[in-house]
């Protein structure tokens, strides 16, 4: 469930969390901002790594380029800092995503960034492929499967030009 592009459920990192089948799909559907960062491999992305980039959407996907071959494991991928998660939540972000296997470093047993996501009741996408996607605003469709009590679900993440997603629900 945690290979390739996937959505983590809160029960993956929080004992009181819910399974992916209970997750509101609105987290995974709507405007998203793709942000490219050049943080050193193995480091956590910090607020200062964003430079002049502003938060312009409720969903943010980070393109790090630090996990270039999903068929070959490298443990020195870039991840998110807990302070960055707090900052994003304070700006109304409801979903954070990254092009690596995890928003926390591979050796981090405490899952500090996952804990901050749980605190803010945000959603997580990991392993999204962004290598050819220019920085900017898009519409995201990355719906998880309704797998009862699962701690994650594979997704097929799709980015559309901003404003092209219209819902007649």
The residues that are catalytic are: 12
Partners of 3 in the β-ladder: none
Q: How far is the C-alpha of 129 from the C-alpha of 57, rounded, in Å?
A: 19
Percentages helix, strand, coil for the chain (3-state, rounded to 5) are: 20, 25, 55
Q: How far is the C-alpha of 28 from the C-alpha of 123, rounded, in Å?
A: 8
In the chain, the largest separation of any two C-alpha atoms, in whole Å, equals 44
Q: How far is the C-alpha of 130 from the C-alpha of 160, rounded, in Å?
A: 13
Q: How far is the C-alpha of 92 from the C-alpha of 94, rounded, in Å?
A: 6
Q: Quick check: helix, strand or coil at residue 28?
A: helix
């Amino acid at each position: 469930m945690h290979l390739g592009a996937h959505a983590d459920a809160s029960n993956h990192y929080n004992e009181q969390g819910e399974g992916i089948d209970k997750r509101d799909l609105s987290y995974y559907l709507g405007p998203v901002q793709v942000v490219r960062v050049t943080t050193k491999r193995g480091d956590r992305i910090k607020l200062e790594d964003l430079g002049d980039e502003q938060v312009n959407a409720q969903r943010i996907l980070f393109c790090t380029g630090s996990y270039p071959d999903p068929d070959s494991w490298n443990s020195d991928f870039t991840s998110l800092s807990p302070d960055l998660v707090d900052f994003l939540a304070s700006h109304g972000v409801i979903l954070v995503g990254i092009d690596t296997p995890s928003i926390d470093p591979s050796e981090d047993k405490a899952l500090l960034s996952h804990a901050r996501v749980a605190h803010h009741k945000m959603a997580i996408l990991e392993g999204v492929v962004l290598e050819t996607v220019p920085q900017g605003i898009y519409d995201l469709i990355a719906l998880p499967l309704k797998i009862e009590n699962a701690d994650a679900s594979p997704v097929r993440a799709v980015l559309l030009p901003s404003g092209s997603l219209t819902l007649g629900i």
